[in-house]
Amino acid sequence: MDFMVPQGLGWDGTFNGIAAPSSDYWLMVEQPSGTFYKGPITLKR
């Protein structure tokens, strides 16, 4: 699990400094208004 802020660069495809394998992952986003979005993303290398 990771926490990102809107001003950040986003996810660089690593976990604890190690490249994550190509696969499907789940993304959960909570907006300041309290609205949640979730869904799959695919990481391709």
Q: How many residues does the chain have?
A: 45
3: pLDDT strictly greater than 80: no
pTM exceeding the 0.75 threshold for the entire prediction: no
Helical (H) or strand (E) element with 14: strand 14-15
Q: Of all residues in the chain, what percent carry a pLDDT higher than 90?
A: 47
CA distance 19 to 42: 14
Structure tokens at 4: 């990102």
Task: Select from 2, 5, 7, 8 the least CA-distant residue to 26.
Answer: 2
pLDDT tens digits along 32-44: 899 999 999 999 9
